[in-house]
Amino acid sequence: MKRKRQTAAVVLIAAIVFLGGLAFFCIRYIIEGENWTFYQANEHIYTDGEMTKMGNITDRNNNVLATTVDGKRVYSEDSSVRKATIHVVGDSSGYISTGVQNALRTQLTGYGKLNGIYTYSLTGNNMQLTIDPDVSVAAMNALGNFSGCVGVYNYKTGEVICMVSTPTYDIADEIDLLKAQNGEYKGVFVNRFLSSVYTPGSTFKMVTAAAALETMGDSAYTNEFICKYGTTIEGEDLSCVGRHNTVSLKRAFSHSCNAYFSQTALSMGKKTMTKYAQIFGFGKQFSIDGIAAATSSFNVEDARNIDFGWSGIGQYTVQMNPLQYLCAVGAVANGGEYAVPYLVKNITSANGYTLYTAQTETERIMGKGLSEKVAELMDYAVADNYGKASFGTLDVCGKTGTAEVGGGSENSLFVGFCKDEGLPLAFVVVVEDGGSGRSSALTVANKTLQSAKYNLCE
Amino acid sequence: MQEFIRGFITAVRYVQPIMSIVIMLFSFMSVFKLHRKNYRYTVLLDDMTEIQLYTPESFLGSDSSADVYFESAQPFHGIITATENTCTVRPCKKSRIAVNGKLIKKETAISSYDVLSAAGREFSVRKKTTAQKLKSVSSFLAFTALNLFQILMALSFVLTGYSFVVLLCFFVFMIAQWIYLCLTRFKNAAVEIPVLYCLTLGLSVAAKVSLSALIKQEICMFAGLIGALLLYKIIINKTLFEKLKLVAVLVSLGLFAANILIGNIYNGAQNWIEIFGVSFQPSELIKVIYIFVSTASFETAVKGKNTLYFVVYSFCCIGILAYLSDFGTALVYFVVLIAVLILRRCNKKIVISICSAAVLCAAAAVIFFPYIARRFLSFGQAWQNAYSSGYQQTRTMIAIASGGLFGVGTGQGNLSYVAASDTDIVFGLISEEWGLIVAMCAALCFVLLAVFAVKCFAKCPVLYAIPVCASAILILAQAALNIFGSVDMLPFTGVTLPFISNGGSSVISCIMLIAYFAAAGVNNKKEEAL
- pLDDT band (50, 70, 90) for residue A326: very high
With beta carbons under 8 A apart, name residues in chain B contacting A43. Answer: 414
Number of residue pairs across A and B with CB atoms under 8 Å?
Answer: 158
Residue A133 contacts residue A81 (beta carbons within 8 Å): yes
Between A399 and A241, the more confident residue is: A399
Q: Chain A: residue nearest B465 by CA?
A: A8
Each residue's pLDDT tens digit, B211-249: 999 999 999 999 998 998 899 888 888 888 888 888 898
- Asked if residue A185 has pLDDT above 90, the reply is no
With beta carbons under 8 A apart, name residues in chain B contacting A29. Answer: 400-401, 436
pLDDT at B425: 92
Residues 410-429 of B with CB under 8 A from A: 412, 414
Contact A11 B453 (CB under 8 A): yes
Q: Is B52 on the interface with A (CB under 8 A)?
A: no
Residues 315-344 of A with CB under 8 A from B: none
pLDDT at B202: 95
In angstroms, the CA A425 to CA A63 distance is 22
A342: amino acid identity, one letter = Y
Q: Is A8 on the interface with B (CB under 8 A)?
A: yes
Task: Give, in order, the Cα–Cα distances in Å from A18 to each of B41, B73, B340, B478.
Answer: 35, 45, 18, 11
Mean predicted confidence (pLDDT) in A212-221: 82
- pLDDT band (50, 70, 90) for residue A266: confident
Longest CA–CA span in chain B (Å) reads 86
Each residue's pLDDT tens digit, B274-313: 766 667 788 888 999 999 988 877 777 766 666 788 888 8
Contacts of A148 (CB under 8 A, 6+ apart): A165, A166, A192, A411, A429, A430, A431, A432, A434, A441, A444
In angstroms, the CA B197 to CA B193 distance is 6
pLDDT at B458: 74
Contact A25 B302 (CB under 8 A): no
Structural element, H or E, at residue B279: strand B278-280
Mean predicted confidence (pLDDT) in A256-264: 85
Contact A118 B477 (CB under 8 A): no
- Asked if residue A24 has pLDDT above 70, the reply is yes
Contact B447 A118 (CB under 8 A): no
pLDDT at B525: 44
In angstroms, the CA A456 to CA B500 distance is 62
With beta carbons under 8 A apart, name residues in chain B contacting A8. Answer: 343, 453-454, 457-458, 465, 469
- Asked if residue A251 has pLDDT above 60, the reply is yes
pTM beyond 0.90, yes or no: no
Phi first, then psi, for residue B120 (nearest 5°) are: 80, 5
Share of chain A above pLDDT 90, in %: 22
Each residue's pLDDT tens digit, A219-232: 778 877 777 777 77
In angstroms, the CA A438 to CA A452 distance is 20
End-to-end CA distance of chain A: 95
Share of chain A above pLDDT 70, in %: 95
**What is the three-state SS of B283-323?**
HHHHHHHHHHHHCCCHHHHHHCCCHHHHHHHHHHHHHHHHH
Question: Is the bond into A167 cis (omega within 30 degrees of 0)?
Answer: yes
Q: Is A172 on the interface with B (CB under 8 A)?
A: no
With beta carbons under 8 A apart, name residues in chain B contacting A6. Answer: none
- Asked if residue A64 has pLDDT above 70, the reply is yes
- pLDDT band (50, 70, 90) for residue B435: very high
Residue B101 contacts residue B117 (beta carbons within 8 Å): yes
- Asked if residue B450 has pLDDT above 90, the reply is yes
Q: Is B33 exposed, middle or buried (0-12, 13-18, 19+ CB in 10 A)?
A: middle
Mean predicted confidence (pLDDT) in A283-295: 91
Residue B240 contacts residue B186 (beta carbons within 8 Å): no
In angstroms, the CA A105 to CA A291 distance is 11
In angstroms, the CA A283 to CA A270 distance is 15
Q: Is B451 on the interface with A (CB under 8 A)?
A: yes
pLDDT at A300: 84
Q: Is B333 on the interface with A (CB under 8 A)?
A: no
pLDDT at B485: 92
Each residue's pLDDT tens digit, B164-177: 999 999 999 999 98
Each residue's pLDDT tens digit, B79-100: 888 877 788 888 887 888 888 8
pLDDT at B172: 95
What is the pairing mode between strands A362-364 and A337-339? antiparallel
Coil, strand or helix at A227:
strand
Q: Which residue among A9, A15, A29 sits closest to B447, beta carbon to beta carbon? A: A15
- pLDDT band (50, 70, 90) for residue A187: confident
pLDDT at B205: 93
- pLDDT band (50, 70, 90) for residue B530: very low
Report the alpha-carbon angle A79-A85-A88, nearest 5: 155
Q: Is B401 on the interface with A (CB under 8 A)?
A: yes
Coil, strand or helix at B130:
coil
- Asked if residue B336 has pLDDT above 70, the reply is yes
- Asked if residue B59 has pLDDT above 70, the reply is yes
Contact A39 B479 (CB under 8 A): no
In angstroms, the CA A243 to CA A253 distance is 14
With beta carbons under 8 A apart, name residues in chain A contacting B458. Answer: 4-5, 8
Mean pLDDT (chain B, rounded):
85
Contact B394 A118 (CB under 8 A): no
- Asked if residue B529 has pLDDT above 50, the reply is no
Q: Which residue among B342, B450, B489 sits closest to A21, beta carbon to beta carbon? A: B489
Residue A124 contacts residue A301 (beta carbons within 8 Å): no
Q: Chain B: residue nearest A43 by CA?
A: B414
pLDDT at B135: 67
Each residue's pLDDT tens digit, A75-121: 888 888 888 898 999 888 778 888 888 888 888 888 888 888 888 77
pLDDT at B526: 40
| DSSP category for residue A342 | B
pLDDT at B463: 85
Contact B458 A36 (CB under 8 A): no
In angstroms, the CA B481 to CA B498 distance is 11
> What is the least distance, in Å, from the CA of A135 to any CA of chain B?
38
- Asked if residue B491 has pLDDT above 90, the reply is no
Query: Which residues face A163 on adjacent strands?
Result: A151
Query: Which residues face A154 on adjacent strands?
Result: A425
Q: How far is CA B84 from the centre of its chain?
A: 23
B479: amino acid identity, one letter = A
pLDDT at A254: 85
- Asked if residue A5 has pLDDT above 60, the reply is no
Q: How far is CA B27 from the centre of its chain?
A: 16
Mean pLDDT (chain A, rounded):
86
- Asked if residue B254 has pLDDT above 60, the reply is yes
- Asked if residue B8 has pLDDT above 90, the reply is no
Residue B338 contacts residue B351 (beta carbons within 8 Å): yes
pLDDT at A2: 52
pLDDT at B527: 34
- Asked if residue A184 has pLDDT above 80, the reply is no
Q: Is A24 on the interface with B (CB under 8 A)?
A: yes
- pLDDT band (50, 70, 90) for residue B457: confident
Scanning B263-415, the segments in alpha helix (DSSP H) are 282-294, 298-303, 307-323, 327-343, 348-368, 370-377, 391-403
Mean predicted confidence (pLDDT) in B497-501: 93
Contact B54 A29 (CB under 8 A): no
- pLDDT band (50, 70, 90) for residue B117: confident
Q: Chain B: residue nearest A41 by CA?
A: B395
Mean predicted confidence (pLDDT) in B379-402: 88
Each residue's pLDDT tens digit, A334-369: 988 999 999 999 999 888 888 888 899 998 988 888
- Asked if residue B5 has pLDDT above 50, the reply is yes
A370: amino acid identity, one letter = L
Residue B26 contacts residue B19 (beta carbons within 8 Å): no
Q: Which residue among B397, B406, B484 sits closest to A36, beta carbon to beta carbon? A: B397
Q: Which residue among A24, A34, A116 sits closest to B403, beta carbon to beta carbon? A: A116
- Asked if residue A31 has pLDDT above 80, the reply is yes
Q: Which residue among B342, B404, B462 sits closest to A114, beta carbon to beta carbon? A: B404
- pLDDT band (50, 70, 90) for residue B133: low
Q: Chain B: residue nearest A109 by CA?
A: B402
Helices B436-457 & B504-522, crossing angle to 10 degrees? 40
With beta carbons under 8 A apart, name residues in chain A contacting B57. Answer: 1, 4
Mean predicted confidence (pLDDT) in B452-457: 86
- Asked if residue A165 has pLDDT above 70, the reply is yes
Which range is least confidently modeled, A431-445, B13-27, B210-224, B404-418? Answer: A431-445
